[in-house]
Amino acid sequence: MDQPQPTVLLVDDEVGTLELMGRLLEAQGFQVHLANSSRDAIRLIADRSFDAVVSDVMFEGSEEGGEVLAACRSLRPDAISILMTGYPRIEGAVNAIKDGAIDYLQKPVDPIVLSATIQRAVRERRMVRRTEDLTFNDMVDILSGLVSQTIERVDPYTAGHGERTRRYCRQIATDLGLDLECTQRLELAAIAHDYGKIYLEDLSFLTKKGPLTPGEYKMVQRHPEVGAERLGGHTQLEDVCRYVAEHHEKWDGTGYPLRLKGSQISPAGRILCVVEVFDSLTTKRSYKQPWTLDKTIDFFESQSGRSFEPEVLDTFLRLLERHGEEWLDAPRRDLELAGVIEAQPAAG
């Protein structure tokens, strides 16, 4: 069976070198992503998985390659990491290997050597993975997929909503410096936040075209608590259930079901509140068209200290500047893939 192209994240602050190496690795059959700062690299690592992360050590005089390596180790333990440096020191190499890098290459790096090093490591890693037991991450991914499919079955317009919410929550949490344990629990809550919907007595209004009646609205407002209740039971899920229960609360106390206010909402819950609203507004639903990027940004800017906590909102708006177009287009692609809407003909 054909193996998928290995994905490589290449990180270097010298843009010319970065682009050249990227092209050379692409010519060798890799799918390449570029980052020209350690900060961008860490964002990308938080956002998606890579087979390999190849990073420079020095960034404008500061030794930030170790931070990329640390992010890789904690967020993507399955990825292989390689460091490159123009100032090789034996202790640097020893420390990098101790910290989990598989190699430490001297710049200028020969792309053929780099390509062979990555290919070999990826092949070995894949062989090991095939014979290994399921990892915790595998289980989370598999079960998350099942939970998402269950929710999407009762409301097909939410196709991909859970997974996108998980991805954006993880990025905000990473930028805000939330610890890994809290971030992982937030990711679980992001996947399962609408789980309570499947237990509503009447499911037909979830896909109804017009506005909800007051009675229907009251019923749908029960879903955060119902979801938390139904998910609960395992001691490890206590925080996850709290975030699920909070996902429609608002910073100024005008949300539901408990009208919690300010610090009564957990930090992770505040992130989930922002992302949930964003993805809902920018997705086509049975009763509405998706919002445009300008309208969405105007709305969020007007909600600082009102619906949303200012620090979380600022972090989110910074991410939106960078990823806005892509995040706005993501629901359409997921709805097309799920067959809920027809594929749009390609432009041009």
- Secondary structure class of 56 (helix, strand, coil): strand
Nearer Cβ to Fe ion (104/243) = 243
- Minimal distance in Å, beta carbon 220 to Fe ion? 8
Region near Fe ion per CB under 5 A, out of 46-54, 171-179, 189-197, 291-299: 189-197
Give the separation between CA 65 and CA 85, rounded to whole angstroms: 9
The torsion angles phi and psi of 335, rounded to 5 degrees, stand at -70, -35
Region near Fe ion per CB under 5 A, out of 7-15, 86-94, 188-196, 288-296: 188-196
Q: Could you tell me how many residues of this chain bind Fe ion (CB under 5 A)?
A: 1
- Alpha-helical regions (H) of 48-160: 65-75, 90-98, 111-131, 136-154
Catalytic residue among 98, 197, 218, 284: 197
CA nearest neighbour of 170 among 248, 271, 92: 271
- Secondary structure class of 7 (helix, strand, coil): strand
CA nearest neighbour of 162 among 136, 188, 200, 199: 188
- Minimal distance in Å, beta carbon 193 to Fe ion? 6
**What tokens appear for 65 in the block?**
């390659």
Nearer Cβ to Fe ion (84/272) = 272
- Minimal distance in Å, beta carbon 49 to Fe ion? 27
Let me know: does 307 contact 273? Beta carbons within 8 Å.
yes
- Alpha-helical regions (H) of 247-309: 267-281, 293-301
Give the separation between CA 223 and CA 11, rounded to whole angstroms: 43
- Minimal distance in Å, beta carbon 152 to Fe ion? 13
- Minimal distance in Å, beta carbon 167 to Fe ion? 17
Region near Fe ion per CB under 5 A, out of 60-68, 95-103, 190-198, 298-306: 190-198
Place of tokens 């010319």: 16
Distances (CA, A) of 206 to 210, 221, 285: 10, 12, 10
Nearer Cβ to Fe ion (172/228) = 228
Region near Fe ion per CB under 5 A, out of 89-97, 107-115, 192-200, 322-330: 192-200
How many CB atoms are closer than 10 A to CB 295? 12
Show the CA angle centred on residue 39, arms to residues 292 and 193, nearest 5°: 50
Alpha carbon 123 to its chain's center: 26
Q: Let me know if 197 is a catalytic residue.
A: yes
Task: Decide: is 279 part of the binding site for Fe ion (CB under 5 A).
Answer: no
Nearer Cβ to Fe ion (13/194) = 194
Nearer Cβ to Fe ion (276/334) = 276
Task: Decide: is 194 part of the binding site for Fe ion (CB under 5 A).
Answer: yes
- Minimal distance in Å, beta carbon 247 to Fe ion? 6
Q: Which residue is nearest to Fe ion (CB)?
A: 194
Nearer Cβ to Fe ion (22/224) = 224
Binding flags for Fe ion, 209-248, as an x/- string (CB under 5 A): ----------------------------------------
Residues of this chain that bind Fe ion (CB under 5 A)? 194
The set of catalytic residues is: 197
